[in-house]
Amino acid sequence: MDVQKFVENAIKEIREKVKDGKAIIALSGGVDSSVCTVLAYKAIGDRLIPVFVDTGLMREGEPERIKEIFGNMGLVFIDAKDEFFKALKGVTDPEEKRKVIGELFVRIFERVAEEHNAEYLIQGTIYPDIIESQGGIKSHHNVGGFPTKYKFKDVIEPLRELYKDEVREVARYLGLPEEISERMPFPGPGLAVRIVGEVTPEKVEIVRKANKIVEEELADYEKWQCFAALIGRATGVKGDVRVWGYIISVRAVESRDGMTADPIRIDYEKLRRIALRITGEIDKVSRVVYDVTPKPPATIEYE
């Protein structure tokens, strides 16, 4: 890929589509949407309105950090935690979960767009998102989970032909900080797809804490992604009392593009340390497992 050419073309495309109008961009802080934000900013300047939606499903400290990094670009910050938890109440089917989240995201973006008179939506959808959605493998909240009816004149996806490693190349070329260009992928629907079954504020809190421990412990390991998921409940004994706690699954994989993946080899002492930290630091967790399944047949995320 010729990065310079890609950047020139992407800027040109955004300019031609938005003309003298305004666009909003769904910014999550991940490498895809951050790259899109910078490209769009270069294309249309302050006619771009970056919107960050705090779904309540982000990782520890993430919303605060995004405010710090993008605050000076006129970032609109929406606290939608209650709305998301309400919409997810009672939803247990994985695809329905993605659809509920996709739908709510778009309705929020429409609201913000109306307030700012923006007619266009820019999204950081990349090539594997499109393939996996078309193949019926899953609904990405920014593709398959995206409602077919929306109020935008057009949805612009400048990265739709790129793989993740190419997006990272563009990020480096644009001078984005390493914290962003090398950031682990994080799914649009957030921690919701790392909770098997119904999403509740309590489960999100637990999986968020466990995730932080996993990221800390595996910081020095070569990987595509590592995280914690809450996959069910099991009995345990904590402080001499029999409990029915939660099960946390640790997932750490290597991959080129997320379409196939292999669990990384973690030494036993490290795994044991992770299990003891998670069960020791999080009250309601009584069991920790390490997922050794490749993709396929498993997916990377859990829903």
258 binds ligand XMP (CB under 6 A): yes
Contact stretch for ligand XMP (CB under 6 A) within 10-18, 139-147, 229-237, 280-288: 139-147
The closest of 280, 80, 52, 100 to 198, measured between CA atoms, is 100
Contact stretch for ligand XMP (CB under 6 A) within 3-11, 15-23, 134-142, 150-158: 134-142
168 binds ligand XMP (CB under 6 A): no
User: What part of residues 13-52 is at the interface with ligand XMP (CB under 6 A)?
Assistant: none
Total of chain residues touching ligand XMP, rule CB under 6 A: 16
Which one, 52 or 286, has the nearer CB to ligand XMP?
A: 52
Structure tokens at 79: 């606290």
295 binds ligand XMP (CB under 6 A): yes
Which one, 44 or 58, has the nearer CB to ligand XMP?
A: 58
User: What part of residues 71-90 is at the interface with ligand XMP (CB under 6 A)?
Assistant: none
140 binds ligand XMP (CB under 6 A): yes
160 binds ligand XMP (CB under 6 A): no
Interface residues with ligand XMP (CB under 6 A) are 129, 132, 138, 140-142, 185, 187-189, 225, 258, 295, 299-301
